[in-house]
Amino acid sequence: MDNLPLYTRFQLALRNGQDKPQIWVAFQGLIYDVTQSRLWRDGKHYEHWAGQDLTEELKDAPHTAAVFQKFQAVGRLQ
C-alpha cells in the first residue's frame, strides 16, 4: 500500500460524485473507490457523504471495517 499515491483532504473532497464522477471515501488512512457501488449512488450512503474520511463515522455503522475489502484502494490520505 505504500506505493499508492497521496491525496490531500481537498483532493478527496472533490471525488464526491458531484464535482467529479469518482466517488471516493477514506478509512484508516486509505482511500477507496466506491464509484461502482449501488449503495453510493450520487455520493451518498444513508447519512454518509463521499469525499470524506469515514474512520470516525464507521463506529456507528451497522457493519464492520471488512466492508472496505470489496473496494479497491486508490490512494492514501495525506
Give domain status of residue 73, yes or no.
Answer: yes
3-state helix, strand, coil in the chain (%, to 5): 30, 30, 40
Distance of alpha carbon 64 from its chain centroid, rounded? Answer: 15
Cell reading at 27: 478509512
Assigned domain for 21 exists:
yes
pLDDT of residue 52: 97
Please report whether residue 54 resides in a domain: yes
Q: Is residue 3 very low, low, confident or very high in pLDDT (cuts 50, 70, 90)?
A: very high
Q: What is the number of structural domains in the chain? A: 1
pLDDT score, position 27: 96
> Which tens digit of pLDDT belongs to each residue from 18-71?
989 999 999 999 999 999 999 998 898 888 899 999 999 888 777 778 999 999
Is residue 2 very low, low, confident or very high in pLDDT (cuts 50, 70, 90)?
confident
Domain residues for 11? Answer: 6-77
> Does residue 1 form part of some domain?
no
CATH (domain of 18): 3.10.120.10
